[in-house]
Structure 1
Amino acid sequence: MARPKKNIEERRTLNRIIVNPTLDEKEAIKNKAALLGISVSDLLLRSALDRRIVSFDKETKMFLHELLKIGNNVNQITRQLNAIVRDGRTGELKKFDQQEKCFIELRKLLDELTNRLDNR
């Protein structure tokens, strides 16, 4: 004898949303759900409903890209400065005086980015 069907109030899912992940994406989703000890449905629902989705317009994306490039340059400069100080070559620090302008410009860009994100 088959078990009785649940009535609509008892059914958890009333609607379906079809998602078409790649095989790798599907496996990653299943693994993440198993790791968390929840169903794939719960994982997807929680991810979709409990998270803030951020998207940027083309201009802001370009701005962020430039900011990342500047951040990379700052990291390279910092490594060089640390190596100079570590090696006791403090006389070479004078050539980095121009970098202060770079840091000031970076601060302006960060302030502009913060304002853009706050005004969304």
Structure 2
Amino acid sequence: MQKPKIFHKGYGRPPKEKSEKRKLHRITINCTESEFEYISNLADDHNISKSNLCIRLIMNKKIPTIFKRDVADLNSQLRRIGGNINQISRSLNQLNKGGIMTIFKRKKLENDLENTIQEYRDILKLIMSFKA
């Protein structure tokens, strides 16, 4: 007899498969202080738990290549770009209210906008390289 499919109500996460159920078994390892520190630092650098790191290493699975310091650097770059975009839009609004848009100001704003867009593209390329 075939098991009926379980349908969820259309919102939230669908029910987990049997292979995705919670982990029931515990393995304890003993290590020296330096080994523990190494594992802790490696897990912290990769922003995953020590348990997840050990499982990934044992199972020869890929460890995430994005580091906390990279995330912090990306956040600061994105904030700076957001600030640049705000300055450009503020300048455009002021010029629009005054009705004065000189060719020089227009070229400068276009150049600033192009530079900001290029910085944004560079950050996107960096983010995409982490996924590979």
**TM-score normalised per structure 1:** 0.42
Q: Using CA pairs below 8 Å that are at least 6 residues apart, which structure has the higher relative contact order?
A: 2
